[in-house]
Amino acid sequence: MNRPDRVRALRISLGAATVASAAARLYPVAVRTVVRHNFRLFMAGDADALLRTFADDATLVLDGTHSWSGHHRGKAAIRAFLQRFLDENIRGDLHEVFVAGPPWRTRTAARFTDAAIDASGRIVYENHAMIVGRIRWGKIVHQQVFEDTQRVARFDEYLRRVSSESGTEDPGAQ
């Protein structure tokens, strides 16, 4: 290979490396942007906006011995969970969102706080959580919520009490 060909090959290689490096830096920014956008839509009442980010066979895991806990598998189960979250008037704030890894093996973590307010404006539930997830090619395949499960259990008690006082069925009753 003569000198001009070597220089050209080197320039092409450097250009490709620069593009790859820029893409690697931009990917986490893009993921954070999409996560925050879909979360805002969810908090505005659109469960399907968030549901679209889950793979068909995704799993959403919440530990504990309360009505929200379990391994919610598949979009139907995850949608039911998300809709109940909205129906119980829980609203939250997404704080930091951390993203690492390539598109085929992305890891995420987000700090989240949430609260439920009753009709009189009183806060009846507050919690903080870390949401840890795995994303593959743009779809959430697994998400686990780490939160204070005793606060969730107390919220369940509140919901049961309100349900029995009003004569309505508690959607989380087991």
Q: Note the pTM of the prediction, 2 decimals.
A: 0.83
Interval 23-64: pLDDT, tens: 667 899 999 999 999 999 999 999 999 999 999 999 999 999
Interval 126-149: pLDDT, tens: 999 999 999 999 999 999 999 999
pLDDT bin (cut points 50, 70, 90) of residue 15 is low
> Domains, the chain, ranges and CATH?
3-166 (3.10.450.50)
How far is residue 169 CA from its own chain's centroid? 28
Interval 89-123: pLDDT, tens: 999 999 999 999 999 999 999 999 999 999 899 99
Task: Say what the pLDDT of residue 97 is.
Answer: 97
Q: What burial class does residue 102 get, using C-beta atoms within 10 Å of its C-beta: 0-12 exposed, 13-18 middle, 19+ buried?
A: exposed
